[in-house]
Amino acid sequence: MSSLTMLGLIGFIGFLCQWFSAKVKLPAILFLLLAGILLGPVFSVFDPNVLFGDLLFPYISLSVAVILFEGALTLKRTELAEIGRPVRRMITSGVIINAGLMMVATHYLMGLSWSLSALFGAMMVVTGPTVIMPMLKTVRPTPKIANVLRWEGIAIDPIGALIAVLVFEWIAVQNAAAEVSETFTVFIGTILTGLLIGLFAGYLFGLFLRHHLIPEKLHNFAALASVCLVFAISDGLMHESGLLAVTVMGVLLANMKDVHIDPILEFKEDLTVVFVSTLFIVLAARLDLNAFLALGWGAVVLLLVMQFIARPLKVIFSFRGSDFSWPEKAMVAWIGPRGIVAAAVSSVFALRLSELGVDGADTLVPLAFSIIIGTVVLQSLSSRPLAKALGVAMPATHGALIIGANAFSVAVAEALRKQGVQTVLCDTSWENLKNARALGLDTYYGNPSSEHARMHLNISPYGYMLGLSSHFEYNVTQANAFRDEFGARNIFTLPPNQPSKRFHKHVVSTHNGARILFSEDSSYKDIRKSMGRGCMIKVTELSAEYSYQHWQKDNQHATLLLSLKPNGDLAFNTTDQLVEAEPEDKLFYLTGFEHSGLGTESV
């Protein structure tokens, strides 16, 4: 197979792994690692060392630099004050507990030196959102637990990576320097180089963004080019300082005033998916299966130490004095998979330390991958049953995130709640949410696609987004914002208050954003008027004796909204697909709904 074909195949297989992980709601890292192992050591389809040659290490290093920079962009000082004491402990003192216990266990179980054991312990503190988020969708724990795990994954990513980088730099400098004084001098020089270049580059780039000196369409390109250049310059001036420089650069940009980085962060997240997908296949293809076997039972015991000792002790210490019950603490203690950063950083560090002749460095990669695979597989398979057993699992139904809090959307939310479907109403008007709160419905005050919502609005219990606000354009904006989260097939909006012909000519297209509910002439304006005249939502359960055809005959003037399936799925009546109701389905419909005729009005 030619090199060009192999590169194309790696990219496409990476996409297939990401696509399949989204379908089964499991971390993509599992399938990426499996694909790489099959392509590399199992079937010998390609050898990364041959394919990339001298470019292998620069490619891996730059990929890790981009991943760390993207993680650092999420670390905002103001948000650390909002996450609560337990999470703050988890990402500070809890990190020290976890790293210390893993260092001791690695030294005695695997026979690595204290310095390498300290490095491995530092690398194993990072969970990360890329492995936590898919698992939360599958486990669906209570919002209280989900919020803690989500916050930990976001905040600990750059913090853990920074600690690992510092430990690695100490080992590299210590190995290259002959005397203790020289080791300390070079280490301080490496740290200062990374800090100064990162701070300078971050501040300079932030000024360019603040004063609009870079065209907006070039912001993403400028950020990527700057990260690569900063990493190369810093590493060229002082070996091993590049990763620290890009991490500091990202943290500074995230905390600069009047610097809008959301588009850059979104681009970096997309780019990180590409880097991670290809990087993990390449890294897994380099694995030596004999090296895995050589780890022996020590690696298995090390995994058990992490799962049953290090993680629980970290949680016990972090949650002392909190209002979390013991089942909630147990669930938090159980879920802590290792993922992207641990694998990528361990590979870079192992390559560099092997070049420096550090004894035992080649053990880091297979050991890290064994922990990653073990935690992801074990926790993915067991977390949902454990959550149910502990009584901290959400009901097995797909809830709905509803945009807008008006009479109609509140009625929909209340009808769904009575049937056991979880909902949350989002509105930027506190007054609009008053009625929903009075009914005891879950609400979110603010823009659901804002940065604040990303940190405080737990969307893991929801599988659908309904744009039911009075403003069609706002519904479409939210639909586009949540498209990646829910998928275009699970996002719905009301039609605009426009005649259908004018709708197709002048209103923003929703083909790539959402599906139109009911029909083109069932606008919010019509529904609002009908609700004012006594129109209401009713629910009828079908059966073998009372079929959908019977319901249609009895409700010829009703407008069908959706059906609730026995397994908890929701099927919505849309302009592109009518509901196919079956026995045991529950039909939600509007009675007394009057159309204005907008749908047939000519322009």
pLDDT-wise least confident of 19-28, 180-189, 463-472: 180-189
pLDDT tens digits along 143-180: 788 878 877 877 776 677 778 878 887 887 777 665 66
Interval 462-473 mean pLDDT: 89
β-sheet bridge partners, residue 572: 562
> Among all chains, which residue has been given the structure tokens 């200062």?
192
Q: Please state the rounded mean pLDDT for residues 394-418.
A: 87
DSSP state of 124: T
Both tokens of 63, joined, read 């990929």
Q: Going edge to edge, which strands form the sheet with 423-427?
A: 443-445, 423-427, 399-403, 462-467, 491-493, 515-516
Write out the residue limits of the CATH 3.40.50.720 domain(s) in the chain: 399-600
pTM flag (> 0.85): no
8-52 residue pLDDT tens: 999 999 999 988 887 777 778 788 888 998 998 888 888 888 888
Q: In the chain, which residues fall in CATH 1.20.1530.20?
A: 3-390
Confidence category of residue 129, pLDDT binned at 50, 70, 90: low
Task: Kindly report the average pLDDT of the chain as a whole number.
Answer: 83
Into which CATH architecture does domain 3-390 fall?
Up-down Bundle (1.20)
* Residue 205, pLDDT above cutoff 90: yes
**What would the mean pLDDT of 90-117 be, rounded to a whole number?**
93
pLDDT reading at 510 higher than 90: no
The answer to whether residue 603 scores a pLDDT higher than 50 is no
Show the CA angle centred on residue 264, arms to residues 23 and 483, nearest 5°.
30
Is pLDDT of 273 > 90? no
Residue 508: its pLDDT value, please?
Answer: 47
* Secondary structure element (H or E) that encloses residue 587, with its range: strand 586-591
Q: pLDDT tens for residues 45-92?
A: 888 888 888 888 888 888 878 877 877 787 677 665 655 788 889 988
Lookup: tokens for 584? 């045991």
CATH number of 399-600: 3.40.50.720
Residue 502 one-letter amino acid: R
